[in-house]
Amino acid sequence: MKILVCISHVPDTTSKINFTEGDTKFDKNGVQFVINPNDEFGLTRAMWFKEKQGASVDVVNVGEADTEPTLRKALAIGADNAIRVNTPAKDGFQVAKELAKVAQDGGYDLVIAGRESIDYNGGMVPGMLAKLLKANFVNTCVSLEVEGDKATAIREIDGGKETLTTSLPLVIGGQKGLVEESDLKIPNMRGIMMARKKPLNVVDPIGAEEKTSADKFEKPAPKGDVKLIDKDNLDELINLLHNEAKAI
């Protein structure tokens, strides 16, 4: 089984976010980037298929040279090969088109993507990718088993979970639950050294056109001041909730 895992290069959630050029561009200065968490769950599941079933695992990213450390981490975790499409990721459609070309050329049986990236949270790429590849698709996937050319997946739905059976080729939008957080792999020194020798292929983009653009970014409003009320002063608490907060 050939597996392709789509990797997004995203800011760490602890990073302080700023914008430049009149709040129209994201400021990358001082920001630590990591593998998108939803993608990391998918990569870890792909490693399970590699260890248990002998699958081959490639990782792919749409981005410029600054995304390569993230791909190298994926190689250190255990992926066999990495592919970087040499163009900035501009919107979901453009990324899906570029990824589809890589997937088509590689003849993959299973494509694993995160259900969304934690930077823009668009949640569009996996579904678009499946459509472009004319492959079966399971989103919000929290469990995946593959036997031969048949797959059994569990996905989250409103109010519960749904079990599906389908055939390969298959695209999934994975998330937490596909593996547990305790199963995530931390690269060890041997993996890091081996990653330096593994192929990281840079391919030219097909020039897919983006369908959307960001006009401006805006930070959430700052939190208001907090007032501390003595635990015994219930009258003051009720007065503030009623007259100031308008909560009661």
Q: Which residues lie below 8 Å from residue 79, measured CB to CB, with a gap of 6+? A: 5, 43, 46, 47, 57, 58, 59, 198
Q: Could you please report the per-residue DSSP string of 139-195? A: EEEEEEEEETTEEEEEEEETTEEEEEEEESSEEEEE-TTSS-GGGPPPP-HHHHHHH
Residue 22 lies in a domain: yes
Quick check: is 230 in a domain? Answer: no
Residue 233 belongs to some domain of the structure: no
User: What CATH number did the domain enclosing 207 receive?
Assistant: 3.40.50.620
- 115, part of any domain: yes
Q: Could you tell me if residue 215 is inside a domain?
A: yes
Instruction: Please indicate, yes or no, if residue 229 is contained in any of the structural domains.
Output: no
Q: Which residues pair with 160 in a beta bridge?
A: 157
Give how many domains the chain has, as a whole number. 1
pLDDT at 203 over 90: yes
pLDDT digits (tens, 9 = 90+) for 56-93: 999 999 999 999 999 999 999 999 999 999 999 999 99
Domain assignment present for 238: no
Distance CA 97, CA 117 (A): 17
Task: Write out pLDDT tens, residues 144-164.
Answer: 999 999 999 999 999 999 999
Query: Residue type at 241?
Result: L
Q: Which residues of 73-89 are buried (b: 16+ CB within 10 A; e: fewer)?
A: bbbbbbbebbbbbebeb
Which residues, in sequence order, are CB contacts of 244 under 8 Å at separation 6+?
none
Average pLDDT of the chain?
Answer: 93
**Which pTM value belongs to this model?**
0.87
In a domain, 231, yes or no: no
Q: What's the Rg (C-alpha) of the chain? A: 22
User: By residue range, what is the domain housing residue 181?
Assistant: 2-220
